[in-house]
Amino acid sequence: MTPTSTDDLLSARVRMPQHVLHRSFVAETVVLNLRTGKYHGLNPTAGHMLDALAAAPTVGAAVPELAREYGIETAKAEDDVLALCKGLIERGLIEVVDADSA
């Protein structure tokens, strides 16, 4: 499922597909796409956002808590989360699922 709008993405749930692994290190999270053999590094903030997105029922649901944690405006947090999601989707590191999926 490829969201066609920002609203679609905010109301969707994202998950890491089975062919993607990630391991957390002190200074970054390494994400490995087993299909492409490529390794990607996420800084601590992006790594934490990824964890929050994986646990949240929708992308939009992850935003308020992240805004509080980082002491930023909700709109800024939303922009950052959407940018991260789009980048990860482009690299095949996360996929969008129906928000109602388990």
Partner 1 sequence: MAIEVDSAIELPGLGDAGTAAAIAPPSPSPPPASAPSARVRLDPDELERRWSGGQEAELMRELRDDEQVLLSVEHQPGCGYLLHAPGFARILVSADGGELLCAPLTDDPDWTMLLPAQALPLAATLQGFEVVHAAGLALGRRAALFAGPPGAGKSSLAAALMRLGAELLSDDAVALSFEDGGLIAHPGVALLHLRSAEHGRLPAAARAHLGSSTRFQSKRRYAPATATARPFGSLFLLEHAAGGAPLERLERVDPFELLRQTYNLSVRTPERLARHLDLAAALASSGNVYRLRVLAHMDATRLAEVVYTELTGT
Question: Which residues of this chain interact with partner 1, rule CB under 8 A?
Answer: 19, 21, 23-28, 30, 32, 34-35, 37, 39, 41
Q: Considering the complex, what minimum distance in angstroms separates the CB of residue 78 from partner 1?
A: 29
- 12: nearest Cα among 59, 79, 75: 59
Task: Count the Cβ atoms, other than its own, within 10 Å of residue 39.
Answer: 10
User: For partner 1, which is the closer residue by CB, 19 or 68?
Assistant: 19
User: For partner 1, which is the closer residue by CB, 15 or 35?
Assistant: 35
Find how far residue 73's CA is from the centre of its chain: 19
User: For partner 1, which is the closer residue by CB, 29 or 67?
Assistant: 29
DSSP 8-state secondary structure symbol assigned to residue 9: H
Q: Considering the complex, what minimum distance in angstroms separates the CB of residue 42 from partner 1?
A: 11
Q: Considering the complex, what minimum distance in angstroms separates the CB of residue 37 from partner 1?
A: 5
Q: What is the CB-side half-sphere exposure of residue 1 using CA atoms within 13 A?
A: 14
